Structure 1
Amino acid sequence: MPNRKASNQRLIYFIRHGQTKFTGEKRYVGHTDCSLSDEGIETMKRLKNIFSDIPINHVFCSDLLRAKQSANILFENTKIHYMRELREINMGTWDGLTFKNVKTIYPEMFEKRIDNIADFIVPDGESFKECQTRALSTVKDIISKTTGNVAIVGHAGFFRTLITYVLDIDIKYIFNIKQDYGCINVLSVDEKFKLKGVNLKKIVERRQ
């Protein structure tokens, strides 16, 4: 796992929020606000220990409740910058509905999205490619305006779009990238982006 070998290298930690009260249901949860479950809270408390001796200079977070609760547990005594731009993909009129609901109400669109996951735009929502553009712009802006290591607490879909970009993977394979609740992804920033870890449960190499 990451080690700061060069003084000009920075680490960006992408941290997915904990399990929510909707977990277990096959539901589109984009901008829909929901709170962490008891298990999600406990996961964040355990994860807090990992970051207790890792230097973090800035913390940014989606303004959705599940991410805010996670960040507040992880970085209890740190100033947190909440940003709407860090939200999960916008699922528009499908947001908050179960897969079964959508398949029943919008059967043709449901199939079209499966066939074109990268470009399909849910009514009043956004496609994964549009989410990727937003994610890249937001993260690059954060990096340009900060120094040192940065933690960003957010969402699986949002982080998957960034990972596909850095690894140069076609975004249609986005769901091949695993993002468990409370996982950590590590990006090093030097002259270019380099992914140091994906869907991690712990940091095995800490600052010496």
Structure 2
Amino acid sequence: MKRYIYLLRHGETEFGKEKRYLGHIDCNLSSEGKYQAMRLGDIFKENKMEIKSIFSSDLIRCKDTIKLVFPEREVTYLRELREINMGIWDGLTFEEVKSKYAEDYINRGENISSFIPSNGESFIQCQMRAIAVFKEIICSTTGNIAICSHSGFIRALLCNLLNKDLKEIFDIKQSYGGINIITFDNYNFVVEGINLKNVTC
């Protein structure tokens, strides 16, 4: 039986307008982010989309998003659904990293797949984590699923499902409050929609 997996990016954060590295650091949703989350909730209601299980990153920006999308529903929060770990860069602006860690900043740009900031993880490591938890969620559930996570995590997972090289990771657009649709028929995963703002059922 065909199953639908709705992979959601959290709403805009309080740092949403800034060019800042946000990994495992916690931050709140902005007012716009809360609106985006409520709009996601409206989409699921209007389309009467049946969701059997709901999962989310345990970081505040995802927890607050999923509570607004599915109020009063049980949610399983998993650390494994967190954003890529940016280590000592976490919370710093692009300009601060460029100034404090100039050589590493250049190295990451040249080796986006494998570069690891101090105390952080690479996109390869993030992708392996994403694939593992995604398969675990699929195998431990039935029916349609909603998962709320982060742009880096989602892009890394989609690269795998689309057979794309991680060097192309930023070619996959992920807007705040965007929806990605993946279907599973017990044999194959198919990416049916990326970064959607609405869904027609």
Normalised by the length of structure 1, the TM-score is 0.94
Residue 5 of structure 1: aligned partner? none
Residue 143 of structure 2: aligned partner? 148
Residue of 78, 81, 86 corresponding to 1:86: 81
Residue 47 of structure 1: aligned partner? 40
Q: Secondary structure at the match of 1:33?
A: coil
Pairs aligned (count): 198
Cα distance between partner residues in 2 of 1:48 and 1:148: 19
Q: Please give the per-residue CA displacement for 1:45-96, whole angstroms capped at 9, x wherever unaligned.
A: 1111111110000000000000000000001021000000000000000000
Q: How far 1:149 sits from its partner (Å)? A: 0.4
Cα distance between partner residues in 2 of 1:29 and 1:47: 22
Matched, 1:130 2:122: no
Q: How far 1:18 sits from its partner (Å)? A: 0.3
Residue 167 of structure 2: aligned partner? 172
Structure 2 unaligned residues grouped into runs of 5+? none
Structure 1 unaligned residues grouped into runs of 5+? 1-7
Residue 56 of structure 1: aligned partner? 51
Matched, 1:158 2:191: no
Spell out structure 1 runs of 4+ moving beyond 2 A. none
Cα distance between partner residues in 2 of 1:144 and 1:63: 21
Residue of 173, 197, 203 corresponding to 2:199: 203
Q: How far 1:111 sits from its partner (Å)? A: 0.1
Cα distance between partner residues in 2 of 1:32 and 1:164: 24
Q: Please give the per-residue CA displacement for 1:156-177, whole angstroms capped at 9, x wherever unaligned.
A: 1100011111111110110010
RMSD: 0.6
One-letter amino acid of the counterpart of residue 6, structure 2:
Y
Normalised by the length of structure 2, the TM-score is 0.97
